[in-house]
Amino acid sequence: MTFQEELVELRRSLHREPEVGLDLPRTQEKVLAALDGLPLEITTGERLSSVTAVLRGSRPGPAVLLRADMDALPVHEKADVPYRSRVDGVMHACGHDLHTAMLAGAARLLSGRRADLAGDVVFMFQPGEEGQEGAKIMIEEGVLDAAGSTPVAAYGMHVFSTTIPRGLFLTRGGPVLAAADTLTVTVRGRGGHGSSPHRALDPIPAACEIVTALQTHVTRTFDVFDPVVVTVGSFHAGTTDNVIPDEARFETTIRTFSAESRDRARDGLVRVARGIGEAHGLTVECEFGIGYPVTVNDRTESDFAAEIVREHLGAGRFFPLPNPATGSEDFSYVLERVPGAFLIVGACPPDRDAATAPSNHSAEAEFDDAILSDGAGLFTELAVRRLALAAH
């Protein structure tokens, strides 16, 4: 079996048995089996089923961290593929099975190149990326100290089933993915008869006013080149036409691309909501949910990663990412502490049109595993070359 075939086999085995959240026992077992026999120092997580592996190079030097997330999503797979999920309602719809296989492949390749390594490589196999803050928990459990010193650089990748042409690697300096926070607003008044609003305190018109005011606030407050996206995705109030309810409630997702805008958005949106409620004599309760921070690439590291893609895979395989993507990532917690780069990889299958193919998280998403050995090779080159750079 070729290296590529082995990676495909591992990826498909992970795909058939997807697991959600922080506890991925079967996935962890498969990763440990894939790493078995390699000269690695392996530890597993306490609060989550993570795997941290350290490879010591032949010469002393700093450490570089490579990361893959391993969790799936509560999605029922509709894609008609031979390696379809065997678990009802669970699917690797975000392609983390590919990330895991690529990193296991890199561990194998780098184990064979210890003589080239001036320093150590930390392999971070992470559960719970899809909302459970697995990266943050691994940091709390010491992944950044696994080699004995904080890594000088960290790299991660994410496959896309759509938009990006197959086999293309993209990244950019600065923000690469959004911060995703939530705001839940409850407007409280006093219910009554629909025919006599003057005897009640109607929360609905004020709540509607807040929804539109939030959009106005965003367009009048933030630089269009440091955008803020606010979407009210749910709005609930009342039961029938002639009853004024006691309260109205809505939920908002807030995407930002800089720490400054993120802080200002939180303060401003809450102020607008409260102010409008108060103007109408209502009380407004704002519950702000902190999500993942902005994923920010170090410019030197993203330039370096781009150079390695061009040299290792070919000039045509790299494309500069023009704008950040509006998704979010908990690798951002690693990049808050370690300079590094996060790359986006086009993995749309050849029989689909990248412009229209179903996106990540869709029940019909498909990812082409032909890119696995390229991904593993790129992780490997990034580690070898970055350690060589540090030695100079």
Minimum Å gap between C-beta 129 and Zn ion is 6
Sheet holding 228-237, edge to edge: 228-237, 247-256, 179-188, 283-289
DSSP per-residue letters across 253-316? EEEESSHHHHHHHHHHHHHHHHHHHHHTT-EEEEEEEP----EEE-HHHHHHHHHHHHHHH-GG
| Complex with Zn ion: residue 67 or 274, whichever CB lies closer | 67
319, 169 Cβ separation under 8 angstroms:
yes
Total Cβ atoms within 10 A of residue 181 = 21
CB of 71 to Zn ion, least distance (A): 8
When the beta carbons of 123 and 160 are compared against Zn ion, the nearer one is 160
Min separation Cβ 3 and Zn ion, Å = 24
Nearer to Zn ion, 156 or 277 (CB): 156
Least distance in Å: CB of 197 to Zn ion?
45
Toward Zn ion, which CB reaches closer, 161 or 261? Answer: 161
Q: How far is the CB of 95 from Zn ion (least distance, A)?
A: 7
Report, in Å, the least distance between residue 11 CB and Zn ion: 15
CB of 360 to Zn ion, least distance (A): 5
User: What is the distance between the alpha carbons of residues 93 and 359, in angstroms, rounded to a whole number?
Assistant: 9
**Residue position matching structure tokens 């697991």:** 19
- Residue 134 CA to residue 65 CA, distance in Å, equals 16
Alpha carbon distance 125, 122 (integer Å): 10
- Residue ranges in 48-107 that form contacts with Zn ion under rule CB under 5 A: 94
Comparing CB distances to Zn ion, the nearer of 94 and 170 is 94
Nearest distance, CB of residue 159 and Zn ion, angstroms: 8
Does the footprint of Zn ion cover residue 154 (CB under 5 A)? no
Q: Total binding residues for Zn ion by CB under 5 A?
A: 1
> Three-state DSSP class for 155?
strand
When the beta carbons of 96 and 217 are compared against Zn ion, the nearer one is 96
* Radius of gyration of the chain measured on its C-alpha atoms: 24
The terminus-to-terminus CA distance of the chain in angstroms comes to 38
Supply 128's token pair. 């719970």
Return the residue nearest Zn ion (CB atom): 94
- The answer to whether 2 and 9 have CB atoms below 8 angstroms apart is no
Q: Which is nearer to Zn ion, 71 or 247 (CB)?
A: 71
Query: Exposed, middle or buried, 1 (CB in 10 Å: 0-12/13-18/19+)?
Result: exposed
Nearer to Zn ion, 205 or 358 (CB): 358
**Residues binding Zn ion (CB under 5 A):** 94
